[in-house]
Amino acid sequence: MKLGLVGDIGGTNARFALWRDERLEAVRVLATADFPTPEQAIRAYLDEIGQAVAEVDAVCLACAGPVRGDEFRFTNNHWRLNRPDFCRQLGLSELLLINDFSAMALGMTRVLPEELVEVCQGSVDPERPRLVIGPGTGLGVGTLLPLGDDLWRALPGEGGHVDLPIGSLREAELWRHLHGIQGHVSAENILSGSGLLTLYRASCALDGRETQLSSPAEVTDAALAGDAFAVQVLEQFCCWLGRVAGNNVLTLGARGGVYIAGGMVPRFADFFLVSGFVRCFREKGFMSRYFDDIPVWLVRAEYPGLLGAGVALQQAREGRQAGLA
């Protein structure tokens, strides 16, 4: 395989790396605001690492949002991309665009054991789907299907926008408050960075408290410092993540295991591991025993999206198109 370039592009940052011999090299993180176009960002990246553009023959970019056709508009930044123009400007023979959480899912096939923290013990069923779910800027949900011979298909979807489930009277009260403000309440409305702040404000409104915290980081920091009300809010966040993850497991039959990914949960990993996540993950009435042997891991890998983009590019270059989605 010739030299490839992979990217994992979010709203604020674009992560780039070379993909050679099935490994990442020369990872760099650039601010999307510093560049008018992705082409210019890639040229700046290659200049920084001293790599000639002409030596790169294929690019795979993992992008937030549905990927269809030759035109792509990035969800959370100002970049736009036209596939033929992109290839012409960079002299490429190949550009592969995949959904960012499809890349995240494929990245799970390459994470190292030491990059996974066990949340629930269990046994992997190698023939069944695996669920990848991660709160960050939004809520990403992906499905990983094993196809045999170390070939994987990552199914893209918009599972973060399903209805927020209700499993307790407190959750019903919170949902009713949110619905009165915004109408439809999706899982992502709570299970994301901005969602944690929304949950904090809704909790304050229900309990007649004045809001004192103004960012998701402040809510998390206050909870980790022992503030009782912030602890309650972060605990509710973990419980709702458990309910949404459990619903997805039942829908997909994801007995291959569950990966908790994304940028948020690793920041409060110790809190998460003793939270109500596991209880709410399994709390499914007469189907609760279904979860007894399903493993769950918290992902602490640094660049799983880049790894997944590399896997997608590798499978495409080897003609194993079934692995791409």
Rounded-to-integer distance, Cα 252 and Cα 287, Å: 14
Q: Give 324's pLDDT tier (boundaries 50, 70, 90).
A: very low
Instruction: Check pLDDT > 90 for residue 93.
Output: no
Sorted by where each begins, the domain ranges of the chain are: 4-105+303-323, 112-300
Of 320, 323, 312, 310, nearest in space to 4 by CA: 310
| pLDDT score at 321 | 47
The backbone torsions φ and ψ at residue 132, rounded to the nearest 5 degrees and listed phi first, read -120, 120
Q: Give 180's pLDDT tier (boundaries 50, 70, 90).
A: very high
Q: Give 325's pLDDT tier (boundaries 50, 70, 90).
A: very low
Of 42, 46, 2, 49, nearest in space to 21 by CA: 2
Average pLDDT value for residue range 37-61: 93
| pLDDT score at 323 | 40
Question: Would you say 285 is a known binding-site residue?
Answer: no
Rounded-to-integer distance, Cα 58 and Cα 193, Å: 33
Q: Give 224's pLDDT tier (boundaries 50, 70, 90).
A: very high
pLDDT in tens, 245-294: 999 999 999 999 999 998 899 999 999 999 999 999 999 999 999 999 99
pLDDT in tens, 127-141: 999 999 999 888 989
Q: Give 43's pLDDT tier (boundaries 50, 70, 90).
A: very high
Number of residues that this document lists for the chain: 325
Helix or strand holding residue 296 (H, E): strand 296-299
Instruction: Check pLDDT > 80 for residue 227.
Output: yes
The answer to whether the beta carbons of residues 83 and 97 sit under 8 Å apart is yes
Of 222, 183, 177, nearest in space to 199 by CA: 177
Question: Would you say 294 is a known binding-site residue?
Answer: no
Question: Would you say 8 is a known binding-site residue?
Answer: yes
Which residues touch 3 (CB under 8 Å, ≥6 apart)? 18, 19, 20, 51, 55, 56, 57
CATH code reported for the domain at 4-105+303-323: 3.30.420.40
Question: Would you say 11 is a known binding-site residue?
Answer: yes
Sheet containing 13-20, strands listed edge to edge, beginning at the edge strand earlier in sequence: 23-31, 13-20, 4-9, 58-63, 94-99
The answer to whether the beta carbons of residues 318 and 146 sit under 8 Å apart is no
Of 115, 112, 105, 111, nearest in space to 152 by CA: 105
Average pLDDT value for residue range 179-201: 96
* Both structure tokens of 228: 């009782």
CATH code reported for the domain at 112-300: 3.40.367.20
Of 129, 16, 140, 135, nearest in space to 66 by CA: 140
Average pLDDT value for residue range 53-82: 82
Highest mean pLDDT among 9-18, 51-60, 219-228, 308-317: 219-228
For residue 305, the SS3 value is helix
| pLDDT score at 170 | 97
For residue 32, the SS3 value is helix
Q: Give 68's pLDDT tier (boundaries 50, 70, 90).
A: confident
